[in-house]
Amino acid sequence: MKPPTDKTGLTHFGFERIPAAEKSARVRGVFDSVAGRYDLMNDLMSLGVHRLWKRFATEFAGVRAGQRVLDLAAGTGDLTRRLAARAGADGMVVSSDINAAMLGIGRDRLLDRGLAGNIEYVQADAERLPFADNSFDLATIGFGLRNVTDKAAALASIHRVLRPGGRLLVLEFSRPTLAPVARLYDGYSFKVLPLIGRLVARDEASYRYLAESIRMHPPQGELKTMMEDAGFARCDYLNLSAGIVALHRGYKL
Classify residue 2: in a domain, yes or no: no
Lowest mean pLDDT, pick from 48-57, 62-71, 194-203, 224-233: 194-203
State the pLDDT at residue 4: 53
Burial class (CB in 10 A: 0-12, 13-18, 19+), 69: buried
Question: Residue 3 in 3-state DSSP?
Answer: coil
- Count of residues making up the chain: 253
State the pLDDT at residue 5: 53
Count structural domains, the chain.
Answer: 1
Mean of pLDDT values over 3-7: 55
Classify residue 23: in a domain, yes or no: no
Classify residue 76: in a domain, yes or no: yes
State the pLDDT at residue 243: 97
- Residue 110's CATH number: 3.40.50.150
Classify residue 104: in a domain, yes or no: yes
pLDDT above 80 (res 3): no
Classify residue 36: in a domain, yes or no: yes
Q: What is the mean pLDDT of the chain?
A: 93
Classify residue 9: in a domain, yes or no: no
State the pLDDT at residue 6: 56
Summarised one tens digit per residue, pLDDT across range 22-35 is 999 999 898 888 88
| Secondary structure of 42-98 in HEC code, one letter for each residue | HHHHHCCHHHHHHHHHHHHHCCCCCCEEEEECCCCCHHHHHHHHHHCCCCEEEEEEC
State the pLDDT at residue 193: 86
pLDDT above 70 (res 7): no
Classify residue 8: in a domain, yes or no: no
State the pLDDT at residue 199: 87
Pick the more confident residue, 62 or 3.
62
Domain that holds residue 216: 29-177+208-251
Instruction: Say what percent of the chain tops pLDDT 90.
Output: 79
State the pLDDT at residue 17: 94
**Of 36-50, 184-198, 211-225, where does the model show the most confidence?**
211-225
Question: Residue 17 in 3-state DSSP?
Answer: strand
- Cβ atoms of 106 and 36 closer than 8 Å: no
State the pLDDT at residue 1: 45
Summarised one tens digit per residue, pLDDT across range 135-187 is 999 999 999 999 999 999 999 999 999 999 999 999 999 999 999 999 999 99
Summarised one tens digit per residue, pLDDT across range 34-73 is 888 888 778 887 889 999 999 999 999 999 999 999 999 9
Classify residue 233: in a domain, yes or no: yes
